[in-house]
Amino acid sequence: MDRAYPTRPIVGVGVVVWHGDQVLLVRRGKAPRWGQWSLPGGAQHLGETVAEAACREVREEVGLDLALGDIIATVDLIERDPEQRVRYHYTLVDFVAEAPDATLQPGSDAADARWFSIAEVEALGLWSETVRVIKLARERRPCR
């Protein structure tokens, strides 16, 4: 199934990754939201749990191994074209995680990756759901 104009929603994962007081964001290298900062993540593969997908996506996008925490939110990402047809429809399952190492190696899906403070995140003009999920993850972090 194509990701653009799908016949059903696609399950995706996002991960709010913390290292100390900073959160990881990636600059998207693909649609939807190409070029925008967002949480690392992507589509779940057939036969893969959402937790496995979360760890794989972060490893592929930035080269990090994680201490994956709980699911903190589910988010619907639905984008329509000018004719109001559904161009993208993802059901996103968001996790919180801790990164023991801060060294980032952006992969092919990420045009860039950086650690940001909460104040910097709030100044980036991110999708409101991304900011909401980051704040929720900060409240529910198992380690601080």
Q: Structural domain boundaries of the chain?
A: 10-139
Task: Please determine, for residue 133, whether its predicted confidence score (pLDDT) is greater than 60.
Answer: yes
- pLDDT tens by residue, 61-83: 999 999 899 999 999 999 999 99
pLDDT at 33: 65
pLDDT at 125: 87
Query: Which stretch of 41-45, 78-82, 110-114 has the lowest confidence by average pLDDT?
Result: 110-114
The tokens for 106 are 């952006």
Q: Which residue has the tokens 């409101």?
A: 128
Bridge partners, residue 71, by sequence: 95
> What is the homologous superfamily of the domain 10-139 according to CATH?
Nucleoside Triphosphate Pyrophosphohydrolase (3.90.79.10)
